A = this chain, B = another copy of it.
Amino acid sequence: MTAHEHTHHDHDQPNLTKNQALVFGALDGAEGPLTAYAILDQLREDGFRAPLQVYRALDKLVEFGMVHRLESLNAFVACRHPGCVSHESAAFAICEDCGSVQEFSPEEAMRVLKAWADAKGFTASKTTVELRGRCKDCAAA
Seen from chain A, the residues whose Cβ lies within 8 Å of a Cβ on chain B are 71-72, 91, 93, 95-96, 102, 104, 106, 108-110, 112-113, 116-117, 120-136, 139
Contacts and interface: CB of A to CB of B under 8 A. Distances in A.
How many copies of this chain does the complex contain?
A: 2
A112 B108 CA distance: 7
9 contacts: A72-B128, A93-B122, A93-B124, A106-B112, A122-B131, A124-B131, A125-B132, A128-B128, A128-B129
B134 A123 contact: yes
Given A93-B124, A139-B123, A113 B129 contact: yes
Contacts of A116: 104, 106
Nearest to A73: B71
